[in-house]
Structure 1
Amino acid sequence: MRHFDDIFPFSAIVGQEQMKQALILNAINPLIGGVLIKGEKGTAKSTAARALAHLLPDRQVVEGCTFGCDPAETKGLCIDCQKKYPHLAATTARMRVIELPISATEDKVVGSLDIEHAIKMGEKKFEPGILAQAHRNILYVDEVNLLNDHIVDVLLDAAAMGMNFIEREGVSYVHPAAFILIGTMNPEEGELRPQLLDRFGLCVDIEGIHDAATRVEVIRRRQKYEDAPEEFIHTWEPQEQELRNRIVRAQRLLPDVVVSDEMLMMIAQICIDMAVDGHRADITMMKTAATIAAYHGRNAVNAEDVQEAASLVLSHRLRRRPFSEQQMDKQKMEQSIQKSQKDRQKPQHDHEHHDHGKPKENTMPDGSTTTVFAEGSPFRLNQQSVTQPRRIDAFRREGNGRRSVTESRDGKYVRSRIPKTIGPDIAIDATIRAAAPYQRERKGNLAVRIESTDLREKVRERRTGNTVLFVVDASGSMGAQQRMTAVKGAILSLLIDAYQKRDRVGLVVFRGRGAEVLLPPTSSVELARKYMQTLPVGGKTPLAHGLLKGLEVLRRELMVNRHAIPRMVLVSDGKANVSMGSGSPLDDAKEIAIHIRDEGISSLVIDSEQSFVAFGLAHQISDEMGAKYIRLEDLSGEGIADIVRGIGM
């Protein structure tokens, strides 16, 4: 029989040695700052995280403490334990894996006011959230790159400070929140915000095993585990205990590990030569190297420890621009180590040219240069703000700029208001404040007596992202080469901007007898780079097919993310010559253009007509779409990007 507590043994996981090493190092020394695991689905990421918690030894906790404080620590105790100190009763508890759901609200993550206690007793009481449960445990975030931005901000603050500060709904509270942060993501599903990416101490890129014999061993072990989990776990217990003891020995040895000045110079030199931003990489590499030395039973860090630490610490910090490859240059790192070792061996009087080891002003990592494609190249977007008119749509999204008021419950609570109709998202703090002046006049058994006129609802705010879909004519008509050059430059530029602002950009190409989605809406620069190498050109002009495909893509996007702001950019000369059925190709295109306008999709038509005799067909399509119209010959790629930013909402 399969029991809920049966966990696949950590030692039984086949392969993925670097991932297992990164997890073990964080278990030995949580100050490393967690690990980000990037890779395909089904590569034992979540299995390893849960197995790690089961592997680690039981820990001492204060009996009855909500946060599981350490009774041996004088610092980092919660408020209740501080009041009881030093009379703290101790007990043991197993380390747990606390999962942070992608759909978690801010209330659920940071904690909130205990509504039932406030109503019955008339007192404020804090109700702990996920961060409280995560203290001294493992916080596991699957698909961390898909987290809402305001949740990411809260997670960043708690991970950096080891404390959770709450100022909301009339509650002021602080509690410890020191945890091992484990995040997983698939790069093709979107990039991680750079601010959060750098917060992860270590990063591991994993992929499926390609050796047939090893894959067979994976199957065998999994089958044995599912057939008889208790027997399988018992079989691997000696290896588990051996690894557990090794981790405990490393934890005890870690405070005595020495990182010499020579090793510190080597760490600094590597970071300089690899052109890593900031100093977090240096500090994390030092901690990781010391932990590696402790894991191997040594009390001093050597060059091999530094090199091993660099491969875990630097891989996600090398990239300075989004379109460069994120890969470690091992040869360059080895040269940096050799250079550092040679500098140590030189006599003091040989160091006459002090600028030899200094970083050059324009030093850049190998992966930082902007990738240049066959047609077009990325450029810096004009960052001047574009004034946007106010808009209220079917989802009651209103506001200016990057943040908008939302009626959903997944935004950040910013203020309260009197509700038009009573809903589930009640602002308890504002409601109690509204009822407070009338308590003497009201009768009842509750500590706080609330009437319907006192009710206030929460006003939430969240970041709104644009979904910009380029629908591009790739037929063989004159000017196709220029179209591709300008549009590709604009798409690459918008993707660089999306990397920072959570916008999504897609590409539909129509030619021949139909249309295809060349690039689905994405903020993943990795996936974009793959599909943007070349664009197909040639054939007839199925304009109606392209518009219909673009409409379908935006409809699906709004079903997945109803807060997205859809925008369509059509690049064509309007000379449709392929119909949807037996009708006129141009009439078919106009009919679909009307549907696009009726669904409230903001659009822009860029006319690529270049013949001496202008037919103005693209202008007719623009009128039916209710779109802004502009000629391609008046634009550069940068101009397209600026115009897209200014499409009316």
Structure 2
Amino acid sequence: MNPAPTSGLNASSPNCSKIPLKMVATETDSPWADAEWTAALLSLIGPELGGVHLRAPPGPVRDYWLDRVRQLSAQPYLRKIPANIPEGRLLGGIDLGATLQHGKPVAETGMLGECNGKLVIAAMAERLPRNTVHHLCTALDDGVIAIARDGIEAKTSARITLIATDEGTEEESAHAALTDRLGLALDMTTLGIHDVDDEWFKRRDVERAQPGLDSVSIHDEHLSALASLSLSLGIDSPRSTLAAVKVARASAALRQHHTVEEEDVARAFRLCLLPRARQLPDMTEPPPPEPENEPDQTDEADTPPVAEQPPPEEERLLEAALAQLPEGLLEQLQTRAARLRQSSTGSAGAQHRHQNRGRPTGVFRGDYRRGGRVNILATLRAAAPWQLFRRREQSENPNQEMPRQLQIRRDDIHLTRFQQRRETLTLFVVDASGSAALQRLAEAKGAVELLLADCYVRRDQVALIAFRDEAAELLLPPTRSLVRAKKALAALPGGGATPMAAALDLTREMVERASKQGTTMQYVVLTDGAANVARDGTRNREAGTQDALTAARVLAASPANALVIDTAQRPQPRAQELADALHGAYIALPKADAHTLNRAIRAAST
């Protein structure tokens, strides 16, 4: 192993433990350093960590890193679990050919059982169905898969180390239940082919570290520091802290050390805790204690000077943590906190079942005469265990004709279950009144155009309502046409009073219409919350505010997600009250541009 991973520190250096942690935590030899360490840690303690959440686009960088994992683990090849793998192939089930041949149920080992004790790749982890995520979590937790289906009952060992490759965008990610069980997290989205460095580790380095891993000790102050950092970053799962401790010990073992040092703790922080940060640490200093009244001393020189105490380990780690926070984390945490609910459907619309169209998601026993597509393989699997008994039953009845080789009955028929995504409509409700109307409209126009750019992939529609003076108007009906949207937005007027109640009533009509058409809808209200026009058209701030809140409470009962963006230069409680009445999310973005709005809307809709 090259000496580079020790960041220039020598194990025999007497001042090794006195190196400031901030220097160790923030200075890395190359952008490729953490990638090499992750590969070595997976090969050394992969089953104990569960695996790694790998955010990386497909390309030569990811392929090279996966090849490095294969080399360090001495595994001939890495099996890949596709996102659309059938449940029977993943878990195992009945071996159809052997069952028909022997006349009794014969079990078949699934892919999880075949990968027992090995590294395995979960391709496109951000698109894994929930049932696949559930089975992977069970394998990571228990190391065993229990099967009770198709007339067989068995338990299969499935102790795997999972590499969850995540190709999603900023708003798309693998399921939280799965990533929580993966001790390591590595982001290679910004790495290019020129960032790939020389090989830091060889297979012999992993083999040399294995015998001494159990003898590596970690100080209590380091344990306390990692736990405090987890709390400071808003990480509520204990799995991340436990994984950080394991990584720190394994890092010391790879460096042929018997004691965890600050460098190992900093590396565990980068690879286990920092990628899971949910909030910024609170660095406000407590007020200084008031001086105590001391009795008069005749001779102050007799009082010995008090030595200055070094900062606690938690504070030094926290200082290093702030230097490690990625750029733009505050904005990401703000929009992430505004998400209405966690959903695997994303912004592509809710899923609903269909008889013949959509993506196959499983099978069920049903009557083919009522419609539906017969699943031949599932039907044969259901009928296979009973063939011997049915032939015997038919041969004992003299009135029956010649027994057939394969007997299928109505109870054996299985149909394919399909799921189809609904279309999604994003409705912008823009406050076009007041002196700042032109700025808000420009932001809305830019956000609409950015969302339209994704419509071809996500199958979204957009619409626009503007309200000013005494009424609200649907300026842009639901559309995917970028040309039509630009034409409608070009001559959008501004200025006047704020008829908030009229805008919310029109929004409710749009929600009801979309619900009848089977469309999933979300609406975004861009306003400062200053309603001053009542439902009857009179200009009265108090009546306008009450009517707006009444309309908001009615709209809140509709099946649509709400997001209120406060565009006031100085956010006031009135927009927050409107969001609460709508049962929606609230984000204060007084200086938001089109790109910021687009990111906030997409984050709140996932």
Aligned match for 2:63, one of 41, 46, 50: 46
Change (3 A) 1:41 1:115: closer
Whole-angstrom CA distance in 2 between matches of 1:367 and 1:419? 53
2:366 is the counterpart of 1:409: no
The 5 A counterparts of 1:159-558 are 159-185=140-166, 186-188=168-170, 190-209=172-191, 215=194, 243-319=202-278, 338-340=311-313, 378=338, 395-396=354-355, 409-411=360-362, 413=363, 415-420=364-369, 422-424=374-376, 426-428=378-380, 430-432=382-384, 438-442=390-394, 449-451=406-408, 453=410, 455-458=412-415, 460=417, 468-474=424-430, 476=432, 517=451, 520=454, 543=474, 545-549=476-480
Unaligned runs of 5+ in 1: 1-13, 58-93, 222-235, 344-365, 384-390, 398-405, 486-507, 525-534, 554-570, 576-589, 615-630
The counterpart of 1:22, out of the listed 18, 32, 38, is 38
Distance 1:408 1:35, change over 3 A: closer
Q: Distance in 2 between matches of 1:174 and 1:39?
A: 34
Cα distance 1:632–1:208, how it changes in 2: closer, same or farther (>3 A)?
Answer: same
Residue of structure 2 equivalent to 1:643: 558
Mapped partners of 1:646, 1:263: distance in 2: 44
In structure 1, C-alpha distance between the alignment counterparts of 2:315 and 2:451, rounded to whole Å? 54
SS in 2 for 1:252: coil
Percent of counterpart pairs with the same letter? 17
CA distance in 1, matches of 2:234, 2:403: 63
Output the CA distance in 1 between the equivalents of 2:162 and 2:342.
36
CA distance in 2, matches of 1:192, 1:42: 19
Question: What SS does structure 2 have at the residue aligned with 1:26?
Answer: helix
The more displaced of 122-131 and 17-26 is 122-131
What is the aligned partner in structure 2 of residue 530 from structure 1? none
Could you list the per-position Cα deviations for residues 242-280 of structure 1 after superposition, in whole angstroms to 9, with x for gaps in the alignment?
711111101222122223444433433433444431321
Distance of aligned partners of 1:270 and 1:470 in 2 relative to their CA distance in 1, 3 Å threshold: closer
C-alpha separation in 2, matches of 1:369 and 1:606: 18
Contact 2:98/2:106 (<8 A) preserved: yes
Partner of 1:35: 52
Q: Normalized against structure 1, the TM-score is what?
A: 0.54
Q: State the shift of 1:163 in Å.
A: 1.9
Query: CA shift at 1:543, angstroms?
Result: 4.6
Distance 2:514 2:473 in 1: 17
**Structure 2 gap segments, 5+ residues each:** 1-29, 286-309, 317-327, 344-349, 396-400, 459-464, 485-501, 526-530, 538-546, 563-606
Structure 1 residues 200 and 127 mapped into 2: Cα distance closer, same or farther (>3 Å)?
A: same
Change (3 A) 1:137 1:547: same
What amino acid sits opposite 1:125 in the alignment? V
Most deviating of 200-209 and 256-265: 256-265
SS at match of 1:440: helix
Counterpart-to-counterpart distance in 2, 1:28 and 1:597 = 53
Shift of 1:447: 11
Contact 1:100 1:140 in 2 (8 A): yes
* Code of the aligned partner of 1:471: L
Aligned position for 1:634: 550
State which structure, 1 or 2, has the greater radius of gyration over its C-alpha atoms.
2
Structure 2 counterpart of 1:257, one-letter code: V
The 2-side partners of 1:127 and 1:477 are apart by 67
1:311 deviates by 1.4
Contact 1:107–1:129 (8 Å) recurs in 2: yes
C-alpha distance in 2, partners of 1:342/1:126? 56
User: How has the CA–CA distance of structure 1 residues 184 and 599 changed in structure 2, closer, same or farther, with 3 Å as cutoff?
Assistant: same
Measured at CA, do residues 144 and 155 of structure 1 come closer, stay the same or move farther in structure 2, by a change above 3 Å? same
Cα deviation for residue 469 of structure 1 reads 2.2
Tell me, yes or no, if the aligned pair for 1:268 and 1:282 is still in contact at 8 Å.
yes
1:433 CA drift (Å):
6.6
Counterpart of 1:190 in 2: which secondary structure?
A: coil
For 1:38-85, what per-residue CA distance to the aligned partner results, in whole angstroms no more than 9, with x for missing partners? 24453612331133213433xxxxxxxxxxxxxxxxxxxxxxxxxxxx
**1:515, 1:545 within 8 Å by CA — same for their partners in 2?**
no
- Shift, 1:138, TM fit: 1.5
Offset, 1:178: 1.7
Q: Is residue 381–residue 642 contact of structure 1 (8 Å, CA) maintained in 2?
A: no
SS at match of 1:245: helix
Amino acid at match of 2:44: I
1:145, distance to aligned residue in structure 2 (A): 1.2
8 Å Cα contact 1:473/1:511 also seen in 2: no
Amino acid at match of 1:440: R
1:465/1:642 Cα in 2 relative to 1: closer, same or farther (>3 Å)? farther
* TM-score between both structures, scaled by the size of structure 2: 0.58
Q: Name 2:528's counterpart in structure 1.
A: none
Equivalence for 1:115? 96
Looking at structure 2, the residues matched to 609 and 169 of structure 1 have their Cα atoms a distance apart, in angstroms, of: 66
Q: How does 1:83-94 map onto structure 2 within 5 Å?
A: 94=75
Give the whole-Å Cα distance in 1 for the aligned partners of 2:260 and 2:415. 54
- Going from structure 1 to structure 2, the CA distance change for 1:277 and 1:423 (only over 3 Å counts) comes to closer
Counterparts of 1:599 and 1:479, CA distance in 2: 38
**Partner-residue secondary structure (3-state), 1:442:** helix
Q: CA deviation at 1:300?
A: 1.9
Distance 1:254 1:136, change over 3 A: same
* CA RMSD after TM alignment: 5.5
Distance 1:204 1:17, change over 3 A: same
Q: Distance in 2 between matches of 1:604 and 1:330?
A: 37
After TM superposition, give the deviation of residue 471 of structure 1 in Å: 2.1
The answer (yes or no) to whether the contact 1:471–1:550 under 8 Å persists in 2 is no
Q: Could you report, residue by residue, the CA deviation over 1:516-543 in whole angstroms, capped at 9, with x for unpaired residues?
A: 636857999xxxxxxxxxx9999xx995
Residue 33 of structure 2 aligns to which amino acid in structure 1? E
Q: Note the C-alpha offset of 1:426.
A: 2.4
Structure 2 counterpart of 1:44, which letter?
Answer: V
CA contact (8 A) 1:469 1:550 kept: no
> 122-131 vs 34-43, which deviates more?
34-43
Whole-angstrom distance in 2 between the partners of 1:141 and 1:382: 21
Give yes or no for contact 1:105–1:409 (8 Å, CA) kept in 2.
no
Indicate the SS of the match to 2:237: coil
Q: Deviations over 1:173-214 (max 9, x none)?
A: 22222222112213436132221121110112223347xxx8
1:35 Cα deviation from its structure 2 partner: 1.1
- Shift, 1:307, TM fit: 1.9
**C-alpha contact 1:257 1:299 (8 A) present in aligned 2:** yes
Conservation of the 8 A alpha-carbon contact between 1:169 and 1:430: yes
